[in-house]
Every structure is written in structure tokens, then in C-alpha cells.
């Protein structure tokens, strides 16, 4: 499997895992910590919007890294972004190692290979899904299994 195919698979995993978390949150809204869980879920969206804009050299001034999205809006944005990520990967199959220049939220300039940014997007989402899972567990709700291996076994 080449890098592009691997990244495409990871982004298929990412939207699957986000859908699993969304379903669990929808079924259990109102638990202690649910507001924080929804904020984490919306943050996954905001951070993907930020990274997509950075990669494309677009302004990030209007993007909120912690947007005030409800679950349905966040998932719809994530589905749209997922299609955009797939298009980006497919159109850059031969240049996934190219350097992306951007400025972080503190104004510090960086240069990072595109493939590393794409990998970061996936890992960052998993980090926040794990935070949501912990909030669910703390509320005595069994979180969905979103580890990659569960996706792999079903796909």
C-alpha cells in the first residue's frame, strides 16, 4: 500500500470513528460532561477546517478552532471535510512529501511535509475522541469502540 492509499484509508477510518462517537453522544446527551464532549467533537471539526485552510494557503482568520457547533452540524462539516481530504490526497499522490508553509495560532511560522500534517489530523481527532470516551466512561456510559483495529476488522 502506498502513502496515498494509506492516508485515504486513515481518513475513511476517521469519519467512521467520528460517526461512532456521534451516535453514542446522541444516544446519551445530558450526561455529566456531555457539554464538554460536544465541545471536543466540534473542536475536531474546527481543527480540520484550520489545517485544510493552512494546506491550501487560505486565510484562517475567520476559522474558530473551538467552534460552537452542535453535533449534527459538526458531523456534516466533518463529512464535507472528509471528501475534501480525499480529493486533496488524490490530487497530491505524487507530492505528499511536499512542504507546507504556515503560521500557527501564536504566529510562529513552520514548514511541515503534507503527509505529516495529514497524519496529524487523524491522530489529533483520535486524541479528542479518547477524551470523549473518558467523559462517557465517567458518566457510566460505555463508549463506542473507535480503535483503528475495530474499523479494520469491519472494512
In the DSSP assignment, the letter for residue 153 is H
- Alpha carbons 14 and 11: distance in angstroms, whole number: 5
- Is 124 flagged in the annotation as binding? yes
> Could you tell me the sign of the dihedral formed by the alpha carbons of 35, 15, 68, 59, in that order?
positive
Is 28 assigned to a binding site?
Answer: no
Measured between alpha carbons, how far is 120 from 36 in angstroms, rounded to an integer?
22
In terms of Cα–Cα distance, which of 24, 58, 62 is closest to 40?
A: 24
C-alpha pair distances (Å), 64 with each of 69, 98, 129: 10, 26, 19
| Contact of 119 with 100, CB cutoff 8 Å | no
Q: Annotated binding residue at 128?
A: yes
**Binding site membership for a divalent metal cation: which residues?**
43, 124, 128
**Binding site membership: which residues?**
43, 124, 128
Amino acid at each position: 500500500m502506498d502513502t496515498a492509499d494509506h492516508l485515504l484509508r486513515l481518513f475513511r477510518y476517521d469519519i467512521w470513528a467520528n460517526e461512532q462517537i456521534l451516535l453514542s453522544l446522541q444516544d446519551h446527551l445530558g450526561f455529566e460532561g456531555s457539554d464538554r464532549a460536544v465541545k471536543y467533537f466540534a473542536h475536531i471539526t474546527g481543527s480540520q477546517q484550520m489545517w485544510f485552510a493552512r494546506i491550501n494557503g487560505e486565510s484562517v482568520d475567520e476559522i474558530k478552532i473551538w467552534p460552537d457547533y452542535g453535533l449534527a452540524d459538526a458531523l456534516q462539516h466533518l463529512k464535507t471535510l472528509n471528501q475534501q481530504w480525499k480529493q486533496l490526497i488524490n490530487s497530491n499522490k505524487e507530492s505528499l512529501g511536499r512542504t507546507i508553509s504556515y503560521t500557527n495560532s501564536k504566529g510562529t511560522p513552520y514548514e511541515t511535509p503534507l503527509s505529516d500534517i495529514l497524519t496529524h489530523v487523524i491522530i489529533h481527532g483520535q486524541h479528542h475522541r479518547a477524551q470523549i470516551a473518558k467523559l462517557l466512561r465517567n458518566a457510566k456510559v460505555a463508549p463506542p469502540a473507535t480503535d483503528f483495529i475495530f474499523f479494520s476488522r469491519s472494512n
